[in-house]
Structure 1
Amino acid sequence: MNEIQVQLYTGSRAQLRPLFELAEDSESQLDSYLDAGRILVARQGSEVIGHLQLVDTGQPGQVEIKNMAVREDRQGRGVGARLVRAAVELAAAEHNTTLLVATAAADIGNLRFYQRQGFRMRTVERDAFTPATGYPPGSHIDGIELRDRVWLDHLLTAPSAD
C-alpha cells in the first residue's frame, strides 16, 4: 500500500467538492467559502483521499480549519489526524498563535476527534444551523437535532529553530 502524503493543493477546487460536501450540509454555505484560503490534501499514490481547508479569520495570529473530510472508505485510519498535524505545523510555522475549528454540537464524533488532536472547547454559537443560514430544517446527527455550533481552539507554539 502506498504511503500517505500530505501536501498543499493547487488544483481545481471543483474536483474536491465531493470531499467538501462530506463535511458541509449547506450548498449555499459551501459556495460562499469553497475558493477561500489554502487546501492541504492527503494523497495515497495519485488519489486524493482527504483534504483540510485553512482560512484566515481576519484576526492577527488566528487561522481556521473551515472544512475537512476524509473519504468515507478511508476514515478511521489516521488520515484526518495527519491532516490536522500538517495544518498545526503550517500555521505555527507562519507564526500564528491559534488554530480554530467549528463543528456541530450534535456531532459527537467530530468533537471527540478534535479534542484528541489537542483542541479545547472555546464557545458555543446557538442556533447556527438554521434554514436562514442555509441548512435544511429538521436535520439530525446521531439522533441529535442540528442546531448549535461549537468553536474549539488549539494554541500553537512556534517551531523550534533546530
Structure 2
Amino acid sequence: MQIERYDGDREALLPLFALADDSAMQIYRYIDEGEVLIAREGGEIVGHAQIIDTGDTGAFELKSIAVTQARQDEGLGRFLVAAAITRCRERGGQRLIVSTASCDIGNLRFYQLHGFRMSRIVRDAFGPSTGYPEGMLVDGIPLRDQVVFEYDLSAD
C-alpha cells in the first residue's frame, strides 16, 4: 500500500468523504479545503485523510478520514493517521485536531488508541441545522454531541 498526496478532482473521492460524514451539506463545505492524502493499492484508492489548516498557529485538523468498507479493519486507518501526523509535523504543526460524534464508539476508541486526547465537547453539533437527519442513531445512541480530540505533534 502506498500513501501519497492527492491532487485530482475531489469529487472522485466523494464516496470516501460520505463514509466519514453523514451530512452532504457539511462535506460540500469542506471537500475542497486543505490537502488530501490517499492510500492506494494496485492503482485503486482505498482510503483518504484530509488535513486542513485551522488558522491557529501550528494547529491542523484531520477533517475527514475513511477507508473503503471492503478494506476496513486491516490497519489502513492507522497508516493514514500516521501519514497525516508526519505531514503536519513537516508543515511545522504543533497539534492535530480531530472531531467525531460522541455516540460513535468505534471512532472514540480509534482516536484514543492512536494517541489523541479528548479536549472538549460541542453540545448539539449534529442535527437538521447542520445537515444531519433528526433522530439519527449511531451504535444505538442518538447523534447529538461532538467530541474534539487533540494530538500533541511534539510527542513521540
Normalising TM by the smaller chain, what interval? Answer: over 0.9
Choose the corresponding residue for 1:137, options 87, 109, 134: 134
**CA–CA separation in structure 1 for the residues paired with 2:119 and 2:136:** 24
Structure 2 match to 1:83? 80
SS in 2 for 1:8: strand
Deviations 1:33-71 (A, max 9, x none): 111110000001100000000001110000000011000
Choose the corresponding residue for 1:24, options 2, 21, 31: 21
Aligned-pair identity (%): 49
**Are residue 119 (structure 1) and residue 116 (structure 2) matched?**
yes
After the TM superposition, list the runs of 4 or more consecutive aligned residues in structure 1 that deviate by more than 4 angstroms. Answer: none
Deviations 1:52-107 (A, max 9, x none): 00001110000000011000010000100000000001101111100000000000
Structure 2 match to 1:38? 35
* Structure 1 unaligned residues grouped into runs of 5+: none
SS in 2 for 1:96: coil
Matches within 5 A, 1:62-73: 62-73=59-70
Structure 1 match to 2:97? 100
Residue type at the aligned position of 2:50: Q
**Are residue 9 (structure 1) and residue 6 (structure 2) matched?**
yes
What is the CA-CA distance between 1:158 and the residue it aligns to? 8.2
Deviations 1:131-153 (A, max 9, x none): 11111101000100000000000
Matched pairs, number: 156
Q: Normalising to structure 2: TM-score of the pair?
A: 0.98
* Structure 2 unaligned residues grouped into runs of 5+: none
**CA–CA separation in structure 2 for the residues paired with 1:91 and 1:23:** 20
Q: Normalising to structure 1: TM-score of the pair?
A: 0.94
**CA–CA separation in structure 2 for the residues paired with 1:158 and 1:94:** 15
Structure 2 match to 1:53? 50
